[in-house]
Amino acid sequence: MAELPDGGTVMSIGAVLGVAIPQGRAEAIARDLAVLAGRLAASSVQPVVEDEPADALRALR
């Protein structure tokens, strides 16, 4: 398992985008993202190579 992101990573992303993300909020975002990523990785439904965003419009026809 790769090391989970920390507040510093999130603050760095904010800096790249020109938005200051306070440390406390950055740490909470990192925690939430790690939990979310864990749930999504454990889900039984995963994309395959051929899946693409436009499939949704076709599925709605």
Partner 1 sequence: MSDPALWTLAEAAAAVAARRISSRELVRACLARIAMWQMETNAFIDLREEQAWRMAEAADAALEGGRAPGGGLHGVPLAHKDMFYRAGEVSTCGSRLRRAWRAGETATVLSRLDGAGAVDLGTLNMAEWAGGATGHNMWFADARNPWDARYASGGSSSGSGAAVAARMVFGALGSDTGGSIRLPASMCGVAGLKPTYGAVSRHAVMPRAWSLDVVGPLARTAADCALLFAAIAGPDALDPTTADAPVFVPPVRPDGLRGTVIGVERGMLDSADAAVRPVLDEALGVLRGLGATLVDVAIPDLEAIFDHGGVISACEAAAIHAQAMRETPEGFAPDLYQRMLGGLATPAVMYIQALRLRGRLITAVRREVFGRCSALFCPTVAMKVPTREATRTRTAEDVGRVHGKLVRLTRPFNMLGLPALSLPCGFDGDGLPVGFQLAGPPHAEAGLLAVGMAYEQEAGWYRRIPGG
Work out which of 23, 27, 28, 34 binds partner 1, going by CB under 8 A.
28
**Does 14 contact partner 1 by CB under 8 A?**
yes
Dihedral of the alpha carbons of 26, 4, 37, 39, in degrees to the nearest 10: -120
CA distances from 36 to 16, 51, 52, 55 (A): 23, 21, 21, 24
Count of helix runs (H) and strand runs (E) in the chain: 3, 0
Find the binding residues for partner 1 in span 29-58 (CB under 8 A). 29-30, 32-33, 36-37, 39-40, 43-47, 51-58
Binding site for partner 1 (CB under 8 A): 10, 13-14, 17-19, 21, 25-26, 28-30, 32-33, 36-37, 39-40, 43-47, 51-61
